[in-house]
């Protein structure tokens, strides 16, 4: 059983305390992927467990009323557990709910939304609509990023066994690998053979490029030493069949680049756009760098309903296309548009939500801090022959002042889709001042959404709540809320 193997991966390398609770019954799901147990009135949050497990738990944080810990050993597995389908489960840090059947995942996510809205939001709630689950729980992502590394991650359980058997760990550590950084580890990568998140040719691409690079003795990046040539690769696959590959290299080595690109183009002619980005920095961010086109036009096109969206290498686009369509449909329904409304799409990104609802509105005003995203938004509006949109670059708390509203019109509907940190408090204050009749709040973090609606509750009532599962086998959850201005 993979559960037996899984145990050895749970314990992190360094923990400050040595308090062990034996035979602890895991009673319920908490949030952020953790479960909870109770002991003598104290709540214990435990990672990497399932309600119904009985485990020996080592604490790494202990306060008066609560504590946090991890399982040293699971003595009895919950009846809810199922066999994870990925060979890398428990090691790479992704898809950490594979041991739960999908209906049970949805149940816990629904409960998570309700709990944080009640506990943090402290507001009157309508009945939550049943969570919209994903029809496909494997190969659902349209974008993945892999890392090449000169150092391989070794799980602690395996590391201990190797030390016990006096095996030379260095020779195994220093292996050229391609995959994902392990959770909490910055300098070693889990060597991935098959990832279940994105359809082919993504696995074949990654493995073939890594094999070719090893054969030709290309150096893989060493994040600790900041040396090595081959750094990262990003694969994007659209529902329309287009494929983008962006290779990130540490320097422009013409001979190696020609060898590698010729190999890729010969072996994978189905790639629509091939690019490379030179990144000499000590971090993996490429948003201040310029990708160079090797093949194709430098972008791919995705489709939601009959709307088309141009996606560049640095564009943000929802990574689950089918669920994005459902999420945007909910947002459009919650906006209750009749064709007469001025809609403000704040944190608009590449304009996808605003464009998706534009046919039902009089005018769309989009605001986003990233200039490249606004450029994409304008191109996407033109691509769909939509003339009733205006997009502005800048921070929403700076742009959305009285003059801006005076020029563009007072909002009838405000749609917000902020990052995980939620709305800036100054934007909340501005929304309360502007008093748009209706707000649609799309969130990837129900906890910060709950905090924000608690502040908005001085003038707004929550009318509808709709959770949407964008990321099966993870604890992440999207949630859409409709808020209406209180009339009395």
* Percent of the chain residues topping a pLDDT of 90: 76
The per-residue pLDDT for 1 is 35
Of 86, 95, 400, 444, which one is the catalytic site residue? 444
Q: Identify whether 444 is a catalytic site residue.
A: yes
Q: Distance between CA atoms of 444 and 422, rounded to whole angstroms?
A: 9
pLDDT band at 208 (very low <50, low <70, confident <90, very high): very high
pLDDT band at 258 (very low <50, low <70, confident <90, very high): very high
Residues 6+ apart with CB under 8 A from 448: 418, 420, 421, 422, 423
Mean pLDDT for the stretch of residues 415-426: 94
pLDDT digits 0-9 by tens, 85-97: 999 988 887 898 9
Mean pLDDT for the stretch of residues 438-464: 96
pLDDT band at 161 (very low <50, low <70, confident <90, very high): low
* Structural domains of the chain in order of their starting residue, each with its CATH number: 2-81 (2.40.50.140), 107-136+320-485 (3.40.50.150), 143-301 (2.40.50.1070)
The per-residue pLDDT for 172 is 65
Residue 3 has pLDDT above 70, yes or no: no
Identify whether the C-beta of residue 152 lies closer than 8 Å to the C-beta of residue 175: yes
Residue 263 has pLDDT above 70, yes or no: yes
214/16: higher pLDDT: 214
Indicate whether this model's pTM tops 0.85.
yes
Tallying the residues shown for the chain, one arrives at 488
pLDDT digits 0-9 by tens, 222-240: 988 999 999 999 999 999 9
pLDDT band at 11 (very low <50, low <70, confident <90, very high): very low
47/137: higher pLDDT: 137
Q: How many CA atoms lie within 13 A of 451 on its CB side?
A: 9
Identify whether the C-beta of residue 297 lies closer than 8 Å to the C-beta of residue 313: no
Residue 241 has pLDDT above 80, yes or no: yes
Residues 6+ apart with CB under 8 A from 170: none
pLDDT digits 0-9 by tens, 276-328: 999 999 999 998 999 999 999 999 999 999 999 999 998 889 999 999 999 99
The per-residue pLDDT for 459 is 97
Residue 479 has pLDDT above 90, yes or no: yes
Q: How many CA atoms lie within 13 A of 377 on its CB side?
A: 31
pLDDT band at 388 (very low <50, low <70, confident <90, very high): very high
Q: Which of 14-23, 141-150, 271-280, 364-373 has the lowest mean pLDDT?
A: 14-23
Q: Residue 295: phi, psi to the nearest 5?
A: -140, 145
């Amino acid at each position: 059983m993979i559960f037996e193997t899984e145990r050895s991966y749970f314990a992190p390398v360094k923990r400050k305390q040595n308090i062990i609770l034996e035979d602890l019954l895991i009673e319920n799901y908490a949030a952020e992927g953790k479960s909870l147990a109770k002991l003598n009135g104290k709540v214990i949050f435990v990672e990497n467990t399932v309600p119904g497990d009985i485990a020996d738990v080592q604490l790494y944080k202990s306060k008066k009323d609560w504590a946090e810990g991890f399982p040293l050993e699971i003595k009895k597995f919950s009846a809810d557990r199922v066999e994870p389908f990925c060979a890398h489960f428990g090691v790479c840090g992704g898809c950490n709910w594979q041991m739960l059947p999908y209906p049970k995942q949805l149940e816990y996510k629904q409960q998570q939304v309700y709990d944080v809205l009640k506990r943090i939001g402290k507001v009157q709630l309508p009945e939550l609509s049943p969570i919209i689950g994903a029809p496909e729980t494997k190969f659902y992502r349209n974008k993945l990023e892999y890392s090449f590394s000169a150092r391989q991650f070794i799980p602690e359980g395996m590391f201990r066994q190797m030390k016990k058997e006096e095996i030379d760990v260095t020779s195994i550590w220093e292996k050229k690998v391609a995959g994902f950084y392990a959770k909490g580890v910055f300098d070693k990568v889990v060597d991935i053979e098959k990832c279940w998140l994105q359809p082919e040719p993504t696995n074949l691409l990654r493995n073939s490029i890594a094999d070719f690079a090893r054969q030709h003795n290309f150096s893989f990046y060493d994040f600790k030493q900041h040396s090595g040539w081959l750094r990262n690769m990003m694969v994007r696959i659209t529902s329309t069949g287009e494929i983008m590959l962006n290779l990130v290299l540490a320097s422009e080595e013409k001979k190696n680049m020609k060898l590698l690109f010729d190999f890729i183009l010969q072996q994978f002619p189905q790639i629509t756009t091939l690019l490379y980005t030179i990144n000499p920095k000590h971090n993996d961010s490429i948003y201040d760098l310029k990708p160079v086109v090797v093949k194709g036009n430098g972008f791919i096109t995705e489709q939601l309903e009959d709307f088309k969206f141009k996606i560049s290498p640095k564009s943000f686009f929802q990574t689950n296309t089918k669920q994005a369509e459902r999420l945007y449909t909910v947002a459009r329904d919650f906006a209750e548009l009749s064709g007469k409304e001025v809609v403000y799409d704040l944190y608009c990104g590449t304009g996808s939500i605003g464009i998706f609802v534009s046919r039902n509105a009089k005018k769309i005003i989009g605001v986003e801090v990233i200039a490249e995203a606004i450029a994409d938004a304008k191109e996407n509006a033109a691509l769909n022959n939509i003339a009733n949109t205006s997009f502005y670059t800048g921070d929403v708390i700076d742009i959305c002042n009285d003059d801006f509203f005076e020029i563009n019109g007072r909002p009838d509907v405000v749609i917000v889709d902020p990052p995980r940190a939620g709305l800036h408090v100054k934007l909340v204050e501005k929304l309360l001042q502007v008093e748009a009749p209706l707000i649609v709040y799309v969130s990837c973090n129900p906890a910060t959404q709950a905090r924000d609606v608690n502040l908005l509750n001085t003038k707004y009532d929550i009318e509808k709540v709709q959770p949407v599962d964008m990321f099966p086998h993870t604890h992440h959850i999207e949630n859409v809320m409709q808020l209406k201005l209180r009339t009395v």
